[in-house]
Chains A and B, each alone.
Chain A
Amino acid sequence: MKKVFLLKNRYVDSVTLMTVAAEISALDGIDGAECGMGTKQNLDILKELGYGLPADVTMNDVMIALDAGGEAAMKDACAYVERSLSTGHSRRQKVYHDVDSIGEGEFDILQLSLPGEYAVKEAYKAIDKGIHVFMFTADISLEEEHDLKVYARDHGCLMMGPDAGVGLLGGVAMAAGSIVKSGPIGIIGASGSGSQEVACLIEQMGSGVTCVLGTGGRDLKKAVGGVSMMADMDRLERDADTKLICLVSMLADREVMEKVLEKADTLTKPVVAVFLGADSALYEGHRVTGTYDLTEAAKACVKQVTGKEPQLGMTGEEIEALAARTADAISPERKYFRGLYTGGTFAEETLMTYREQAPEIVMHTNRDNTQYAVRLKTHKQSEGNTLLDMGDLDFTAEAPHTVFDPAQRALRFQQELDDPQVAVIAMDIILGPGVAPDPVSCYLPMIRQHPEVKYVFAVCGGEGDPQGKDKIKKQLREAGVIVAESDHESAMISAAIMKKLEARTA
């Protein structure tokens, strides 16, 4: 039997609802479940799936659509949803309905992830109350983003995002960020996974960070003009605890990157920059230490604050030897690389490394705006050597982002294993208090079952992250995975293996 239950006048975000739907689908007696707000699009989907719709449903209601064997299973599923969505308010606690209901000085940060059409208004209200804004929401126009950032800057507030995935403030990880030890390095990042990687590697090499200020991925676009990155540089210049500033971004608008570097020239503190994919001409004539990958950026930061050359990962000779041993163990009919990435910057850094290290390998991808690969016909099917960005809308429109729920990537992992020509699978594993609590268990049985395929993973996480970075690495190594010390090293290893396989078939 199919039935739709309503939670009247309640808003719950789509990430949570997709996750809860997946969880209740696995309960005893439930054959299928969908959860969503009562939008026209969701009503159409339920109608198509054969559900009768309650007459009083509105777009302000949460819908729980259940296909179950009986009433008892439905009742249990509804109770499960209520428990999952509970925020633990007691009756004596103040309930807030929007930013208007927040009093002056009550909160330091508004962490905002409403749909774009509502988020901008709430962000302005927060800034008017002197509250910093961390905005995960991405569907906002570049003009609105620019104006919001200028407004925040002129009112003395941080505007992190739109489209900010990570941040670290007062030792607390925002959104999908990691908990990293405190230290003298301040990170300003227009790249979520890039900033997180640099922060975590800095910690791994014995130093730490004052903060990670995520500007959102579009801050260095022409229409936004780097407003947040430049305002944040001024702040960190004045911050007594920050001794060195690190700028992290993917390749962006040339003029804006130049403007950012000119700004860095005016500061008194040392600045390390990584603009992934930039050429050396970009950094020429500026006082910043220009670097070309995330690992190099983290090493440059640690070297400057400690005065010592940091050690991390394998030497070039060690990578070559490992690649030779691994390639020898791969049978001749297996020849393709498959990369299943959740972090956009990790995907880009890997593609860039392949272009540098193994330009003879043609890579396919679903990523837009990359100069290093050929566009896939469809994201649903890999072709030859393929690297997928599973954080892209192609995938997140269909299921919760893999960083929150690994189920979608686990299915794709199996799909790649079913291809008898697959030689190497590479992935990033991202840790943090706001992401999947168990990001690797779902892959381990498949890895053990298919030792004929070789696996190269990198784990991005801080020592304070609840998943336990060392435990995760140990689990992977015990299953037979090559665990690199960074995304760049992972790309170097898998590219060296693939280069040997390519030479074998050429």
Chain B
Amino acid sequence: MSAVNMEKPIPKEKPSVANLGIKLFYDSMIAQNTRCVQIEWVPPIKQSAEVEELLNEFL
């Protein structure tokens, strides 16, 4: 399928928005009466190099 055929159109009406990051931007969407959710994201846990090495050894 070509890119044109599968192209998602530019929104002509108020778009629905998922906001991931700066909360001010979520507040702005709500103030503009746009459907918006704030994604409750937390950074993935980073393993130290030492732990990673041990895991690699055992798994």
Contact = CB atoms under 8 A, between A and B. Distances in A.
Interface of A: 9-13, 15-16, 19, 37, 58-60, 85, 87-89, 93-99, 101-102, 106-114, 118-119, 122, 126, 130-132, 136-137, 153-158, 169-175, 179, 210-211, 213, 235, 238-239, 241, 404, 432-434, 466
A12 B27 CA distance: 14
Contacts, number: 159
A113 B22 contact: yes
Contact of A235 (B10, B16, B32): B10
B17 to A, nearest CB: 5
A235 B23 CA distance: 30
Contacts of A119: 21
Nearest to A111: B19
Interface residues of B, number: 40
A58 to B, nearest CB: 8
Contacts of B16: 106-109
A189 to B, nearest CB: 15
Contacts of B11: 108-109, 132, 169-170, 172
Given A109-B17, A111-B17, A172-B32, A155 B25 contact: no
B34 A13 contact: no
B12 A156 contact: no
A87 B10 contact: no
Contact of B8 (A95, A101, A156): A156
B39 A434 contact: no
Given A15-B22, A113-B20, A155-B3, 10 more contacts: A19-B24, A60-B43, A95-B40, A108-B11, A131-B18, A136-B22, A156-B4, A170-B11, A172-B17, A466-B31
B42 interface: yes
B17 A114 contact: no
A87 B38 contact: yes
A170 B12 contact: yes
B45 A60 contact: yes
B54 interface: no
B58 interface: no
A170 B10 CA distance: 8
A172 B23 contact: no
A171 B21 contact: no
A156 B5 CA distance: 8
Contacts of A9: 42
